Amino acid sequence: MKRRLHNIMLAGTGSDVGKSIVATGLCRIFLQDGYSPAPFKAQNMALNSFATKDGFEIGRAQAVQAEAAGIDCHTDMNPLLLKPQSDHTSQVVLNGKPIGSSSAYDYFRKEGKEELREAVCQAFDRLAARFDPIVMEGAGSISELNLMESDIVNLPMARYANADVFLVADIDRGGVFASAYGSIALQKPEYRQLIKGIIVNKFRGDLRLFDSGRRILEDICKVPVIGVIPHYKDIYIEEEDSVDLAAKSFSREKGKINIAVILLRHISNFTDFNALERDPRVHLYYTSNTEDIKKSDIIIIPGTKSTIDDLYELRRNGCAQAIVQAHRSGATVLGICGGYQMMGTQVLDPDHVEGDIDMLPGLGLLPVATRMTGEKTTRQSRFTLAPQNGGKLLEGYEIHMGETIPDKEGIEPLVFMEDGKPEGCYVDRRCMGCYLHGILDNPGFNDFLLEPFMEKTKASARTEDYTAFKQRQYDLLADHLRKHLDMNLLYNIISYD
Q: Which residues are catalytic?
A: 337, 437
The whole-angstrom separation of Cα 348 and Cα 369 is 8
- The answer to whether 8 and 481 have CB atoms below 8 angstroms apart is no
The whole-angstrom separation of Cα 84 and Cα 487 is 37
Contacts of 492 (CB under 8 A, 6+ apart): none
H-run or E-run covering 184:
helix 176-185
- The answer to whether 93 and 80 have CB atoms below 8 angstroms apart is yes
Contacts of 84 (CB under 8 A, 6+ apart): 45, 47, 90, 266, 305
Tell me the chain's radius of gyration from C-alpha atoms.
23
Residue 171, amino acid: I
Separation in Å, CA 154 to CA 133, 139, 194, 491: 17, 6, 11, 22
153: exposed, middle or buried (Cβ count in 10 Å: 0-12, 13-18, 19+): buried
How many Å is the maximal CA-CA distance in the chain? 74
Closest CA to 425 of 334, 297, 347, 332: 334
Separation in Å, CA 196 to CA 8, 166, 201, 245, 434: 10, 6, 16, 35, 48
CA contacts within 13 A on the Cβ side of 137: 34
Residue 271, amino acid: T
| Cis previous bond, 133, omega within 30 | yes
Closest CA to 272 of 436, 488, 494: 436
> How many residues make up the chain in this entry?
497
Beta-bridged to residue 398, according to DSSP, are 379
Beta-bridged to residue 299, according to DSSP, are 260, 333
Residue 82, amino acid: L
Question: How many Cβ atoms from other residues are within 10 Å of residue 112's Cβ?
Answer: 12
Residue 296, amino acid: S
